[in-house]
Amino acid sequence: MRSASITRKTHETAIDVAVNLDGTGAYDVATGIGFLDHMIEQFSRHSLIDIKCHIKGDLHVDQHHTTEDSAIAIGQCIAEALGDKAGIGRYGTAYSPMDEALCRVALDISGRPWLVWKAGFSQPRLGEMDTELFEHWFHSIAQAVGITLHIEQLHGVNNHHIIEGIFKGFARAMRQAVELDPRKGSAVPSTKGILGAGSVD
């Protein structure tokens, strides 16, 4: 099993996170932000990555640290579980329709983090979660895993549909990218022989 866990406590958050890349989409999520829980659960279920994510954060300040640290911790666990990335698909792409909304996610586990975000929301909150934090969540997880990540809202009016479509698309793209390809064996999917900072192919 390709798995990893992190337990960490700072003045801002206390974190207990674990992932299993070869799971079934089982989740145990409690961040103190109901809508964020729902989105991480969607990510787990549709990527088939088992995720435990327990966070107690400084929500009396705002939701920023809790949201950011959930993405960083999950991302760090995914990066650790991937190891040298031998045999993985590396790339993933998904179109994700949800009623009137349609989102496209494309990613490369390249070791070169980058986020292109083309999505917008017409209301400041969904449930109790600030909608401006969605982009930051994806920026944080892209940085932590080392993903080149492109997210685009092609259609959509309902804010819930838009962001849920994005999380589901990200999940399905990640499933493609982290899955092991038996034809690749132990080969790292790069002509350089490594995937990480400084690798350009």
The DSSP code sequence of 33-98 is -HHHHHHHHHHHHHHT-EEEEEEEE-TTT-SHHHHHHHHHHHHHHHHHHHTT-TTB--EEEEEEEE
Domain boundaries, the chain: 3-178
Would you place residue 183 in the very low, low, confident or very high pLDDT band (cuts 50, 70, 90)? confident
- Nearby residues of 76 by Cβ (< 8 Å), 6 or more positions away: 4, 6, 144, 145
**Distance separating alpha carbons of residues 26 and 46, to the nearest angstrom:** 10
Q: Greater confidence, 46 or 190?
A: 46
Q: How far apart are CA 131 and CA 81, in angstroms?
A: 30
Beta-bridge partners for 18: 5, 52
Q: Are 114 and 149 in contact (CB under 8 A)?
A: yes
pLDDT for position 186? 74
Global pTM value = 0.92
pLDDT score recorded for residue 80: 98
Q: Tell me the mean pLDDT in the region 154-161.
A: 98
pLDDT, tens digit (0-9, with 9 covering 90-100), for 4-29 = 999 999 999 999 999 999 999 999 99
Whether 75 shows a pLDDT value over 90: the answer reads yes
* pLDDT value at residue 199: 46
Which class for 46: exposed (0-12), middle (13-18), buried (19 or more C-beta within 10 A)? buried
What fold characterizes domain 3-178? Answer: Ribosomal Protein S5; domain 2 (3.30.230)
